[in-house]
Amino acid sequence: TEHRANTHTIKADLSDAAEVDNLADRLAALPEPIDVLVCAAGVGQRSLAAHTSYDAHDLIMRTNFDGHVRLTQRVLPSMLERGAGTIVAVSSVQGFFGQPGRSSYAASKAALVGYYDSLRAEVAADGLTVIVVAPGYIATAHAASAVGGDGASNASSESKGMDPSELARLIVDAMVRGGPSQLVCSQPSGRAAMFLRSLAPGLFFRLMASRA
């Protein structure tokens, strides 16, 4: 028997706390409980730390981190009450290392990793699943809409980026299987940088300095 799930589309700006609260209220009013929460909103960065205003940094943190945490905190109690639910946080391989021109972006993605790693441990005994996704390059207009950028796309990054639909499939597969808790969806360069930052930090820091 074919089953069609009800679909609800609600627009919200996750950088605005009031909009996040309004979104949470509207979600709570839906007849069905929230079984899966995917925190995927994000904005990129293309500016050196010394040239990034605090307002720009604040926008990145509110969009990439604070909004996700605020929404998670509103949805979490109902999941805990039911003893079921999946929360997916889309971070980045840059949540595990920083590179020139991405200081605030890397900070926001690292914050996601730390927060949801802690949350995973706290809710494991309650029957909830928490998955952190670490993509590499994705074939989107991420560079063109980045804070501090010039509005131009990055043809090189986009050409070697994973198709968004493929990333979505990998995330859905992980949700269905209940893991892995950390899903890395990156090109070899991103995976190598993650390992190098952990195993040979001095070498990694010299490489990043040469790129700057």
Q: Which residues are catalytic?
A: 105
CB atoms within 10 A of CB 22: 13
Distance CA 105, CA 87 (A): 21
* Cross-strand bridge partners of residue 88: 38, 131
Contact 204, 98 (CB under 8 A): no
Q: 143 vs 42, 66, 110, 186, CA distance in Å?
A: 12, 21, 19, 17
Give alpha helix (H) positions in the chain. 17-28, 54-61, 67-82, 103-123, 155-159, 164-177, 188-199, 201-211
Backbone angles phi, psi at 55, to 5 degrees: -60, -40
